[in-house]
Structure 1
Amino acid sequence: MKKEIYKKNYINSEIPSVVLDRMAIYIRVLNQLQQERIKLTNSKELSNYLPVESGQIRKDLNYLGKFGINGKGYNVKNLKKTLQKLMGLEAKWNAVIIGGGRLGKSSVEFMKQKKSETFRIVAAFDPNKRLVGKKISNLKIQNLKDLTRTVKSRNIKIGIISTENNSVQNVAEELIRNDLNYILNFSSFSPKVPDFVILKNIDPGLQVESMSYHLRQRSLTR
């Protein structure tokens, strides 16, 4: 049996966010392969499950260092475990959601559907005092002035924004003041944040508008 080559030299590497996004998709494919009881795979086989060329997959996985089995490809279980470790998916992270209105409820449902064992929404807040005391999912909406105490007591590391657009910038600044420098933003307005903050904007509306562009372009070529 040929020996698997694996060198941990990725720890200090700066990996582009677009590559990390693809790696998250690779993990889902590897989950599927495990369910199909496939033990070995290669970049060409992985590309059959993805809109990504095999060459790009190999390039992405090069961030892991030397990884694979000579002449065989990748051990599915080991590759999945390595990607999960690289992306911090072996840990458990607590999150807080700011915004308890319709967008907040939709955001919580979105997170639930992902069935993530890595992220847990443990608290909810809203700058609108009329929503304080109401519930979003099983979480009681709290006053934003209590955010600092809750972040510390619940060891919260991630902030989720799901407020009206006119509140987004203030909410983002409040999260950053509380050392929540990892932010998921479900609103349609993108706040300005310092370079050290990791901000991910999740706006389905933008995807729909982008799709409309592609539909229009295709109709023009007919």
Structure 2
Amino acid sequence: MSTYVYAIAGVGHPLRLDGVRGVGEPAREIRVLGAGPLGVVASDAPDGLRAKRRDLLAHQRVLDRLLEDGTVLPMRFGLVAADDEAVVAAIAGGSEGYAERLAEIDGCREYNVKVTRSEDDLLRQVIEEVPEARRLNDLTRAHPADHGQKMALGEILAGEVRARQDHDAREILAHLAPCAVRHSEGEPTGSCFLSTSFLVSRDQAPAFVQAVQEEAERRDDFYSFKLNGPLPPYSFV
């Protein structure tokens, strides 16, 4: 029987899992595997496991219970090993590294911040502030069949948009990073120019949330901030 892995816990974690069930239908019983000084929270893995809402929620409930009582290294949904012996061998072999990571994230949770800006507003600003962009924009409006001018305008707009988004992202990170232990930057996509996860200690969480609110309030309505958290520190495991 293959083994599904939820998390790795360190010495001293109570691993209080009474009444908690795992993934699958019927829901699998949770067990703890000893791997050197560490405990691995696991269950049997159901056949044909997919990211269904029922199983995603079951995975999250196990992590929520564990995180109530202490620090764990959370595994992302869907981590399956051949059997218990394979799990124990893999974790015990790297126990020192796992213990170091547990110490690093001790008392911390993850917060993810996504920031978008209206593309129409950004393009309008570029055309207003960059003379060459304004000139080419006027030409393309007057001569819509001139593809050379359109391409030149597109290159200027793309470069200016990237530069302004990068500038905004640096400013926002400079304001938020001091409230976090670490941060991990994701790739920007379209109008979402910043998608960053922050590792935040529990005592700094109110200050971090306030910093996000302050950053959102000092920008106009064309910016949109989305804060998710507290979350298991997936991005730092």
**Interval containing the TM-score (normalised by the shorter chain):** under 0.3
> Which of structures 1 and 2 has the larger relative contact order (alpha carbons within 8 angstroms, sep 6+)?
2
Structure possessing the higher radius of gyration over alpha carbons:
2
Give the alignment's TM-score, normalised by structure 1.
0.26
